[in-house]
Structure 1
Amino acid sequence: MDYRNEDQPSGAAPNEIDGLSIVSEEDGAQVEDAGRRTFLKATGIAALGSALAVPFARFFPEGLSPVGIAQAQDMDAYAFKDQLTLLNDRPVNAETAAHLLDDKITPANRLFIRNNGMVPDHALAMDATGWTLTVDGEVDNPLELTLDQLKSDFEVVTRQLVLECGGNGRAFFVPGASGNQWTTGAVGCPEWTGVRMRDVLNAAGVKPTAVYTGHYGNDPHLSGDPDKVSISRGIPIEKALEEDSLIVWAMNGEDLPAIHGFPLRTIVPGYPGSTAQKWLNRIWVRDVVHDGPKMGGYSYRMPAYPVAPGTEVPEEDMVIMTTMPVKSLITSPATGTNSVGRSLDVRGHAWADGDVTSVHVSHDFGQTWQEANLEKPRNKYCWQHFNATIELPQAGYYEIWARATDTNGYTQPVTTPGWNPRGYGNNMVHRIAVIAS
């Protein structure tokens, strides 16, 4: 069984211009000056610079952008991030260290990035001119809405909602799973401003035959093929019609950053971040479960039954990942902190598909647990902040563990739960190391 990760293409070095052979002018093909200038202007190859020859430029398909340009532009769009760990640069994927997520509201420069394709040119330019959202399929009144119409025709709401990659924690599965080796930092909880998805769908008149939504964005495929879709996932119609499933254009009161989906994306709290389609331009209401790219095979799917680690699970026995498990994250102190003294203040966040009812912390490898102070969520699907003071009995090495429990009684396990081929849904307790003096 081949479990190579179709969600994660292999990366390239940040300065590599993939697929373009860069040689001297005298080695290149001869192209008439006038025609060459026109071609370069039309395709964007001119952006490589007048001093750089592009052999065979006359064969480059009209309307495409060179991969090397797109890759460099995506890294430029990533440049505002603060101390994130870059896991892959084609597409750009990066996570945030736990101690950098200490803010109650995650700032844009600390939010993780999970991309499947390239950042669209219009987003890089932060230009929404001519952009529209199409809502079609199993609806009575198909819609084509501008951004201004979304803002004026529907109630605008702001919610603080957790966004978490389904593969967060993948690095800890044994045996390992292929893909971005997320540790704990593929999560954040910014404020999102937009409209309820259900309001838009209701305006379109959802038919009784509706079963699922299919979401589409215009992020270019890594291959450069304009006919290929980078990712198109969707959600059950019941989830789409929930109050907190949103179509948003702002994060923390500002336009969505280019790399986070400008001008529009979905936010589907409680579900994997892969359902939060960036650069959204279409919602296709389906009468069947959506079958877009990254909906089938092993992508964002879990075994239908418990399996032993390393088991070869038949593709037909994989089911779509829906709700994310209860989880917590210690954000202070940072792991590796030395000489903390005997009285240690600990704080962090906890979240679930619903409310978290308690958080407990341990300093003796789970032999005893101390209940932490836990704040109520600002709104449904917002993470909850916890804090505790732990008295350490003597100098030495300690691990501080955090364990959250939700309203359904589910509690984080000490070890990785439910091994699966792609390493999804890891909600083991979060652990940090400290040295007490």
Structure 2
Amino acid sequence: MASNKRANPPDRSLQELYRDDPERADALAWGRRGALKGSALATMGAALGASIPFAARMPAGTLPELLARPAAAQGTAAPGGTSQGAAAPGPQVFRMPGKNDLILLGDRPLVAETPEHQLDEPVTSAKNFFIRNNGQMPEPVTDPDSWTLTIDGEVNTPLSLKVGELRSRFPNVTLQLQMECGGNGRGAYAPQTRGNQWGNGAISNAEWTGVRLRDVLNAAGLKPSAIYTGHFGADPHLSGATDRQAINRGMRIAKAMDEDTILAFRMNGEAIPHIHGAPLRLITPGWPGSFSQKWLTRIWIRNQVHDGAGMGGTSYRVPVKPIVPGSNNNGADFAELESMPVRAILSSHAHGSRLPAGTRSLDLRGAAWAGDLTARAVHASVDFGATWTEMQVAAPANRHAWQRWQGRIALPSDGYFEVWYRATDSEGRMQPHAAANWNPQGYSANAINRAAILVG
């Protein structure tokens, strides 16, 4: 006879408890209900290894970022002897020649994120450039100038051009251009969505040299029926199937004709590294990185919206009207994710940094960007968002480059602090406190980010 006794549920991590029911998590983990004080404050301080000077301003249901996202490779034990399991493990490190340590998110396909503090340079170096593949990598070529690009479809004169011809036939341009994965910030969505759980570091701002795509399209002669592109690369499908594309996206002709959309053959004054798309890569700045096809071989000009791999449904598309988080949806009422939302990174201090006792101010710096727009302002807080200090934001080096920001913020004492930082775009839209507009594949999550700092 079967027993009516329910099996014990599996232990849940502290993060899962906070995701599912933040107020109950507060009570279970810390004995906290409402304001953080007394034994609850002592328990949380012990877990963090430091006092919390602004504890009274910590919003209820907020898990300290150092516990939500440990900086060390080892996980942090759950506080107070509770049975909900350990805190999240630290990031898994990815190492390869020519790269600084990245955060490994997946190895098939290879996906790796750059820690924010490694983006503390105006122009992103190849060693700090994030990695996002969709399929296998093609074999490197021995003669980059012989690589061929085809332009066909709704054009008067189909073209077949080698990289050497592109370089010599059309004006060369060099621009700093932001490139960001459409899933950047995905890890902030609750409930969790499909896809790589990016933090805040799927962003780059390299200096690209190439030719404007519009110059090449003008040479081909666009027909009046041309409304969309379709992009093809040499990367094999993960399955090895030769009749399937790893990714095959396309964009509106207006973006293809933008003066900053380029066919790039150099990165930071050198040949593009193979892992980043050599010998020819499409750069579509300000829009999801999936538009910036690696190992580019063909651009098909179409008389309809492109329907390749990674188009339609919920792929790189977001709800026009909010949907219930966690619900199923076929994307019929979704719109293409094009210009990326405003976001800031903090590059002056690594998450989990420990500073000397007596440190009474932080000199902060980082970067901000807003897709096709610009960043109008950046603010930072060290008291859990109760008050904010405006930072200085520099102009971009050129259109579609990110903007560096800096500023100083005071600390009242030693202890545990969190730097919260947020950007506002040129149309007045500010990063939200929580990832908004939930969607099944987790695009466009640009919540305010936090970095833990321990002083003394």
Please name the residue that 2:378 is paired with.
359
Q: Distance in 1 between matches of 2:355 and 2:97?
A: 34
What's the offset of the Cα at 1:298? 1.8
* Alignment-mate amino acid for residue 248 of structure 1: A
Residues in 2 aligned to 1:338 and 1:231: alpha-carbon distance in whole angstroms: 42
Unaligned runs of 5+ in 2: 1-93
Alpha-carbon distance, 1:305 to partner: 1.2
- What is the aligned counterpart of 2:323 among 278, 285, 307? 307
Check whether the contact 2:230–2:302 (CA below 8 A) recurs between aligned residues. yes
Q: Which residue of 2 aligns with 1:269?
A: 285
- Structure 2 CA distance, aligned partners of 1:156 and 1:131? 17
CA contact (8 A) 2:264 2:281 kept: yes
The equivalent position to 1:83 in structure 2, one of 85, 95, 101, is 101
Conserved? CA contact 2:188–2:435, under 8 Å:
yes
Aligned match of 1:168 in 167, 184, 192? 184
Structure-2 residue corresponding to 1:330:
346
CA apart distance, 1:311? 2.2
Q: Where does structure 1 lack aligned partners over 5 or more consecutive residues?
A: 1-75
- How far is 1:129 from its partner? 6.3
Tell me, what secondary structure is at the counterpart of 2:347?
strand
Instruction: Please name the residue that 1:39 is paired with.
Output: none
Q: Which residue of 2 aligns with 1:24?
A: none
Once residues 88 and 310 of structure 1 are traced to their aligned partners in structure 2, the CA distance between those partners, rounded to angstroms, is: 23
Q: Is 194-203 or 311-320 further displaced after alignment?
A: 311-320
The corresponding residue for 1:381 is: 400
Instruction: Choose which of 102, 127, 135 in structure 2 pairs with 1:117.
Output: 135
**Using the alignment, how far apart are the partners of 2:159 and 2:233 within structure 1?**
16
Aligned-pair CA distance for 1:394: 2.0
Q: Which amino acid aligns with 1:319?
A: A
1:372 to 370, 388, 391: 391
Q: What is residue 153 of structure 1 aligned with on the other side?
A: 169
Match of 2:112 among 73, 76, 94: 94
User: Do the aligned residues in 1 keep the contact of 2:95 with 2:102 (CA within 8 Å)?
Assistant: no
1:154 to 1:344, Cα distance in 2 relative to 1, 3 A: same
The match for 1:234 among 246, 250, 262 is 250
State the shift of 1:319 in Å: 2.3
Contact 2:188 2:434 in 1 (8 A): no
CA contact (8 A) 1:126 1:258 kept: no
Superposed, 1:17-416 pairs within 5 Å as 78-121=96-139, 123=140, 125-128=141-144, 130-340=146-356, 341-352=359-370, 353-416=372-435
1: distance between equivalents of 2:405 and 2:282? 28
Q: Secondary structure at the match of 2:344?
A: strand
Would you say the 8 A contact 1:303–1:313 is kept in 2?
no
- Does structure 2 retain, via aligned residues, the 8 Å contact 1:140–1:206? yes
| Residue pair 2:314, 2:330 contacting (<8 A) in 1 also | no
> What is residue 439 of structure 2 aligned with on the other side?
420
The residue matched to 1:213 in structure 2 has which SS?
A: strand
**AA of the residue aligned to 1:394:** S
Sort the Cα spacing of 1:314 and 1:177 in 2 relative to 1 into closer, same or farther, 3 A: same
Q: TM-score, normalised by structure 2?
A: 0.77
Residue-pair matches, total: 360
Deviation at residue 162 of structure 1 after TM alignment = 0.6
TM-score, with length taken from structure 1: 0.80
Separation in structure 2 between the aligned mates of residue 227 and residue 350 of structure 1, nearest angstrom: 40
Secondary structure of 1:332's partner? coil
Q: What are the Cα deviations for residues 28-84 of structure 1, in whole angstroms up to 9, with x where unaligned?
A: xxxxxxxxxxxxxxxxxxxxxxxxxxxxxxxxxxxxxxxxxxxxxxxx995322101
State whether structure 2 residue 450 is matched by structure 1 residue 434.
Answer: no
Q: For the residues of structure 1 that align with 2:418 and 2:352, how far apart are their CA atoms?
A: 10
Structure 1 runs (4+) greater than 6 angstroms displaced: none
> 1:126 Cα deviation (Å)?
4.6
Query: Which one-letter code corresponds to 2:283 in the other structure?
Result: I
- Partners of 2:320 and 2:334 within 8 A in 1: yes
Q: In 2, are the aligned partners of 1:77 and 1:258 still within 8 Å (CA)?
A: no
**SS in structure 2 at match of 1:195:** strand
Distance 1:132 1:149 in 2: 9
Find the residue that maps to 1:397 and give its secondary structure: strand
Residue 308 of structure 1: CA displacement? Answer: 2.5
| CA drift at 1:130 | 4.2
Aligned residues of 1:77 and 1:259 also touching (Cα < 8 A)? no
